[in-house]
Amino acid sequence: MLAYTARRILSLFPVLIGMTLVVFAIIHAIPGNPAQMILGQRATKEAIAEVTRQLGLDKPWYIQYFDYINSLVHGDLGTSLRTRGPINQEIWPFLSATMELTLAAMLIAVFIGVNAGIISAWFSKSWFDYLAMVLALIGVSMPIFWLGLMEQWVFSIELGWLPTTGREDVRDPVSAITNLYLIDTLLQGRFDQFGTVLQHLIMPSLALATIPMAIIARMTRATMLEVMKSDYIQTARAKGLGMFWVVYKHSLKNAVIPVLTVIGLQTGLLLGGAILTETIFGWPGIGRYLYDAIAYRDYPVIQSGILVIAAIFVFINLIVDLLYVLVDPRIKFTK
Amino acid sequence: MRKKSFKLVLFALLAISMLLAGCTGKTRETSGGKESGNGGGPKKDTLVYGRGGDSTSLDPITTTEGEAYKVTENIFETLVSYGEKDVTINPGLAEKWDVSDDGLTYTFHLRQGVKFHDGTDFNAEAVVFNFNRWMNGDEDKFPYYTMFGGYKNDEGHVIKEVKAVDEKTVQFVLKRPQAPFLKNLAMSPFGIGSPAAIEKYGDDFRSHPVGTGPFKFVEWKQNDTITLERNPDYWQEGLPKLNKVIFRVIPENTARLNALVNGEIDIMDGLNNSDEATVKANDKLQIIERPSMNVGYIGMTTTRKPFDNKLVRQAMNYAIDKKALINAFYGGKAEPAINPMPPSIKGYNESIKDYPFDLEKAKALLKEAGYEKGLEIDLWAMPVARPYMPEAQKVAEVIQENLNKIGVKANIKSVEWATYLDKASKGEFDMFMMGWTGDNGDADNFLYTLLDKDSIGSNNYSYYSNDELHDILIQAQTETEEAKRNELYKKAQEIIKDDAPWVPLVHSIPLLAASKDVVNYVPHPTGSEAVTNVEFK
């Protein structure tokens, strides 16, 4: 296990280096002088020269790349052109907000999705199966924009159960420690705030969960159907083992690998920021941070934002790979 | 063993759901308690203002963005200030001022006993410090300082020197008269900051603003909330009335309205015109109208065929039905624009008649220009909503239909906003939608900024150039006698009307919605205002 883990981690390095190269190339792929683009039309020659120097664009590209890697290693992600703040400090609250939302959404998606898939497979071709798969189809094709506004209308305006937008009751704000508000409120023993934060989390995470939930449900059903036809399951059932244990222990364990893959990919995608969900629910996440940066041509933020998200994506896939081995120990011998 | 673990799972689930239920119950109570505060209990004193975007900086001179000023108007004050609802000049941090006969020396007598939020004194040295800081900067650092014609060593810079005569008197000496000088000083970017704090924070002053205003800065959660609290030492007795103001970002207009209906925010801007009826039907909400100081227009690049021909540009003016547009997309909350600036601005020419909606006349003009067989052009529609243009794509479709009737085939195009502005300033569009909200309520800020040949490459997107107009606009900049100046601007509008570089479309009335218990909210035409007098019923 240890050797396998080490091998997997080592194999990350080429990927990470490739990523930095791509991200580094972004600023050089822009037509024209980036300094001119940053300063706009009316900029004087001196100002352009100054910014060119500041960005280090007057040096050869390999020196620039080396400088870039050097500052990355020292945790320096650059400075935002728009807010002039250091990006490594700025990005953290957005990232945490997105993480909280993503984790909540994936919990919902996995719990409901996997169970719906299992039950659909267990009672395949029953009314539950058809209903669940039709719902999953709707879920995949549901426009989040519409779904979000509908949720607000039903749960906030009509029923008054949940707040429409945001992460907290702004009149009683959470004092941030980790910026994961559920944890922060618990650390401070503010159980009332914990409840409010949870309430704020429900609608956006439900909206965000819809698509992955549907995909996971369909994937689980398909692989479960496959596994349940296999000989050893027939044997287990012949032995008189209860159906519940046959399904949830013996079948699931063998059906879970493709499902894990989907979960990993979906988590990575959501962590990249869900611009629509964040916009409708006023969620201050990484998606909107990047979106704003693109609208303002804030290149350092675009660069660093993409890099961070890509790194997280890679990291999640590493975790998924390691989980494969936990679930199915045969995997580590295959390489 | 198996049964045991299954039971354990069930038990854990039960425990979690009970915990959740418990928390939810508790929050209900607290929020319920707050709501009762509206009625019988303690008076509500926190205003939550919902808006579409975050500020980029809280040091107002470092930005040109309206979202910044909405906040900084509450933290900083200017030497002179605008009227509550208009752009007349009133005392601000300066109680009174004298202007020399030649219009070159302005002497400001400052208010006594004013302190910055950090406890340091506001005095003449502080004013000098701020102006020196700005004039030694550049366009990248302090963009709006160009209102004074450039920076310290620039030829166009009008301020020769700013000096402290004594503790409470500050004097501005100009190189040449600048008619809108006082109106410029009243603009939000020229709020006076604490020199001590500026030195302490350096560039970080943009996230640690310290001024003399009614509210002090507390916290900024980016893209989420900015919290201000009452300045207990504010120089105006008994003000401000609120204890806290929270600016909260909710990007989507409908979601923001949902939050207002649900009581999570108390007031919002950027209400869709189409949602006005919803707000009116809700007896807990009210509509607040912001006085118009903007213009939405269709520009025609006068250096490109076929719009290099004045007759073609005039034909476009005859062909577009403004009234129908206003009824369809502005819910009637706009007036048709005749000139490039709104009637509320001094020097507006009321005697100019608009080109009427007359398709036959339009066709005749096209024929005269040699385009009787029709022509094909690109019509660029902006990708974002602006107060003067809430639904650009749909407006473009109606205009396309209008033009089709006179044999002009318009292909609607669009591109992301930064690129849109970039292309427009390079003169790459045939016909395009654009607009402007006034900065300081001066005619110069519309006519010179948008249509003078000096502004080609920046805000004169139609590349319109007329030497006679240029002479008049330059003369008006230094003319300090108001009546004469207004005459010059009236003449300028006549020239522009005839040359027709634009089809002026609308002066729109931006809408805000608020909870009914919010009182004394007076929106300012410039788009930002302090909430000093706002309170809850």
CB within 8 Å: A84 and B258: no
Question: What are the phi and psi torsion angles at B176 (to 5°)?
Answer: -150, 155
Question: pLDDT at residue B196 above 80?
Answer: yes
Domain span holding position B384: 294-508
CATH code: domain of residue B147: 3.90.76.10
User: Would you say residue A110 lies in a domain?
Assistant: yes
- Same domain? For B93 and B224 the reply is no
For residue B40, pLDDT beyond 80: no
Domain finish residue from B153, B181, B203: B203
User: What pLDDT is recorded for position A226?
Assistant: 87
The alpha-carbon radius of gyration of chain A (Å, integer) is 24
Tokens of B324: 């129908």
Mean per-residue pLDDT, B79-104: 93
Asked whether residue A136 is domain-assigned, the answer is yes
Of A316-320, B109-113, B190-194, B242-246, which range is least confident?
A316-320
Rounded to whole angstroms, the Cα distance separating A280 from A286 reads 14
Residue B10 pLDDT > 60, yes or no? Answer: no
CB contact under 8 A, B258 and A156: yes
Q: What is the pLDDT of residue A228?
A: 83
Q: Which of A34, A82, A33, A67 is nearest to A305 (CA)?
A: A82
Q: Across chain B, what does the average pLDDT equal? A: 89
Q: How far is CA A119 from CA A113, A123, A240, B129, B430, in A?
A: 10, 6, 20, 73, 61
Interchain contact B290–A (C-beta under 8 A): no
Q: Is A301 on the interface with B (CB under 8 A)?
A: no
Non-local (6+) Cβ contacts of B209 within 8 A are: B58, B59, B72, B75, B76, B193, B197, B217
Residues B275 and B250 in one domain: yes
Domain assignment present for residue B34? The answer is no
Please, what's the largest Cα pairwise distance for chain A?
84
pLDDT at B74: 96
Residue A78 lies in a domain: no
* pLDDT of B228 over the 70 cut: yes
| Average pLDDT, integer, range B50-72 | 90
Domain around A192: 87-327
End-to-end CA distance of chain A: 12
Window A:258-277, CB contacts with B under 8 Å: none
Residue B48 forms contact with A (CB below 8 Å):
yes
The conformation of residue B53, written as its DSSP 8-state character, comes to S
Residue A158 is classified by DSSP as I
Q: What 3-state DSSP class applies to A276?
A: helix
Question: Is the pLDDT assigned to residue B336 strictly greater than 90?
Answer: yes
* Region of poorest pLDDT, from A282-291, B224-233, B485-494: A282-291
* pLDDT at position B30: 36
Query: Within 13 Å, how many C-alpha atoms sit on residue B282's CB side?
Result: 20
B255 and B311 fall within a common domain: no
In a domain, A19, yes or no: no
pLDDT at B184 over 70: yes
Cβ-Cβ contacts under 8 Å, A296 against chain B? 56, 418
Separation of alpha carbons B459 and B433, rounded Å: 13
Distance CA B169, CA B156 (A): 26
Neighbouring C-beta atoms of residue B199, cutoff 10 Å? 11
- Alpha carbon distance A238, A232 (integer Å): 9
Q: Report residue A56's pLDDT band, with 50, 70 and 90 as the boundaries.
A: confident
- Highest mean pLDDT out of B12-21, B26-35, B120-129, B151-160: B120-129
Query: CB B264 to CB A163 under 8 A?
Result: yes
* Residue of A191, A245, A279 lying closest to B252 (CB–CB): A279
Would B69 be classed as within a structural domain? no
Q: Which residue has the tokens 């309206």?
A: B66
User: What is the DSSP code string of B172-214?
Assistant: EEESS--TTHHHHHTSGGGPPPPHHHHHHHGGGGGGS---SSS
Strand residues in B63-158 grouped as ranges (E) = 80-82, 89-91, 94-99, 105-110
Q: Cβ contacts (< 8 Å) between A51 and chain B: which residues?
A: 140
The predicted structure's pLDDT at residue B22: 41
pLDDT bin (cut points 50, 70, 90) of residue B37 is: very low
Going by C-beta distance under 8 Å and a sequence separation of 6 or more, which residues neighbour residue A206? A105, A108, A151
Asked if B35 has any chain A CB less than 8 Å from its own CB, the reply is: no
List C-alpha distances in Å: B525 to A38, B61, B64, B66, B380: 31, 20, 16, 12, 28
Question: Would you give the end-to-end CA distance of chain B in angstroms?
Answer: 64
Max Cα distance, chain B (Å): 99
Residue A257 carries which DSSP code? H
Contact B48 A156 (CB under 8 A): no
Domain presence at residue B84: yes
The reported pTM is: 0.85
B480: contact with A, CB 8 A cutoff: no
Contacts of residue B222, defined as CB under 8 A and 6 or more positions apart, other chains included, come to A83, A90, A93, A94, A284, A289, B54
Q: Are B448 and B305 found together in one domain?
A: yes
Q: Out of A160, A198, A280, whose CB is closest to B23? A: A198
Same domain, B492 and B515: no
- Give residue B33's pLDDT band: very low, low, confident or very high (50, 70, 90): very low
B423 and B487 in a single domain? The answer is yes
Residue of chain A whose alpha carbon sits nearest to that of B35: A171
Domain CATH code at residue B335: 3.10.105.10
Instruction: Sort out which chain A residues have CB atoms less than 8 A from B264's CB and list them.
Output: 163-166, 169-170
Average pLDDT rounded to a whole number, residues B140-148 = 84
Of B221, B223, B254, the CB nearest to A288: B223
From the list B511, B148, B109, the residue with the least C-alpha distance to B332 is: B511
Please give the DSSP secondary-structure letter assigned to residue B255. Answer: H
Q: What CA–CA distance (Å, rounded) separates A102 from A269? A: 9
Nearest-angstrom CA–CA distance, A77 and A304:
6
- Residue with structure tokens 């910044």? B68
Instruction: Give B411-460 pLDDT, tens digit per residue.
Output: 999 987 777 888 888 899 999 999 998 888 899 999 999 999 888 877 89
pLDDT score for B273: 84
B 310-349 → A contacts, CB under 8 A: none
Among the partner-chain residues B207, B255, B416, the one whose CB lies closest to the CB of A281 is: B255
pLDDT exceeds cutoff 90 at B227: yes
A198 in contact with chain B, both atoms CB, cutoff 8 A: yes
Domain match, B86 and B142 both: yes
Minimal CA separation from B107 to chain A, in Å: 33
User: Is position A203 within any domain?
Assistant: yes
**Is B409 contained in some domain?**
yes
Give chain B's domain count: 3
Angle at B372 between CA B371 and CA B376, to 5 degrees: 55
User: Count of domains in chain A?
Assistant: 1
Q: What angle do CA B166, B170, B173 make, to 5 degrees?
A: 125
Angle of helix A87-122 relative to helix A252-271, nearest 10 degrees, comes to 150
Are the Cβ atoms of B27 and A83 closer than 8 angstroms?
no
d(CA A137, CA A210): 10
Q: Which residues on chain A are in Cβ contact (under 8 Å) with B252?
A: 279-280, 282
Task: Give domain status of residue B379, yes or no.
Answer: yes
Q: Which residue of A has its CA nearest to B139?
A: A43
**Do the Cβ atoms of A157 and B24 come within 8 Å?**
no
| Residue B530 resides in a domain | yes
B478 and B405, same structural domain? yes
Q: Which of B178, B203, B228 delimits the end of a domain?
A: B203
Q: Give the C-alpha separation, B217 to B236, whole Å.
A: 18
Over residues A50-57, the mean pLDDT reads 76
Q: B188 and B141, same structural domain?
A: yes
Interchain contact A204–B (C-beta under 8 A): no
Tens-digit pLDDT profile for residues A69-126: 888 888 888 888 778 888 988 899 999 999 999 999 999 999 999 999 988 988 888 8
In total, the C-beta contacts within 8 angstroms joining chain A to chain B are: 144
| CATH code where residue B257 lies | 3.40.190.10
- Residues of B within 8 A of A43 (CB-CB) are 139-140
Paired with B409 in beta bridges are B376
Q: What is the pLDDT of residue B488?
A: 95
Q: Given pLDDT bands bounded at 50, 70 and 90, which one contains residue B26?
A: very low
Taking CB atoms and an 8 Å cutoff, what residues of chain B touch A280? Answer: 252, 255
Cβ count near B200 (within 10 Å): 13
Q: Check if A323 contacts B (Cβ < 8 Å).
A: no
Q: Give A247 to chain B, closest Cα distance, Å.
A: 14
Query: How do B159-166 and B105-110 pair as beta strands?
Result: unpaired
B246 touches chain A (CB under 8 A): yes
Q: Which residue has the tokens 């939810």?
A: B24
Same domain, yes or no: B265 and B160: no
Q: Is residue B327 part of a domain?
A: yes
When pLDDT is averaged across residues B361-365 and rounded to a whole number, the result is 94
Q: Which of A153, A170, A198 to mutate to test the interface with B (most CBs of B within 10 A)?
A: A170
Strand B408-413, strand B375-380: pairing: parallel
Residue A207 is assigned to a structural domain of this protein: yes
B324 and B252 within one domain = no
Most confident among A59-73, A297-311, B67-81, B473-487 (mean pLDDT): B67-81
Whole-angstrom distance, CA of residue B309 vs CA of residue B316: 11
CATH code, domain carrying A110:
1.10.3720.10
Percent of chain A with pLDDT over 70: 94
Could you tell me the pLDDT band of residue B21, with boundaries at 50, 70 and 90? very low
Closest CB from A171, A279, A294 relative to B251? A279
Which chain B residues touch A42 with a CB distance below 8 Å? 139, 457-458
Give tens-digit pLDDT for B376-404.
Answer: 999 999 888 888 888 889 999 999 999 99
CA pair distance B388, B435, nearest whole angstrom: 6
Peptide bond into B189 cis (omega under 30): no
Q: To the nearest whole angstrom, how far is the Cα of A39 from the nearest Cα of chain B?
A: 7
Is the per-residue pLDDT at A32 higher than 80?
no
Q: What is d(CA B222, CA B213) in angstroms, rounded to the nearest whole number?
A: 22
Which one has a higher pLDDT value, A107 or A144?
A107
What is the sign of the dihedral through the CA atoms of B265, B269, B272 and B276?
positive
Question: Minimal Cα–Cα distance from A147 to chain B, Å?
Answer: 12
Show the tokens assigned to A271.
């962590």
Residues B500 and B516 placed together within one structural domain of the fold: no
Q: What residues of B are in contact with residue A93 (Cβ under 8 Å)?
A: 221-222
Across the interface, whether the CB atoms of A192 and B30 are under 8 A apart is answered yes
Judge: B264–A166 Cβ closer than 8 Å, yes or no: yes
Interval B251-295: pLDDT, tens: 888 999 999 999 999 999 989 888 999 999 999 999 999 999 999
What pLDDT is recorded for position B244? 96
Which sign, positive or negative, has the C-alpha torsion B287, B289, B290, B294? Answer: positive
Report pLDDT for B247. 96
Local confidence band at A33 (pLDDT 50, 70, 90 cut-offs)? low
pLDDT at B214: 97
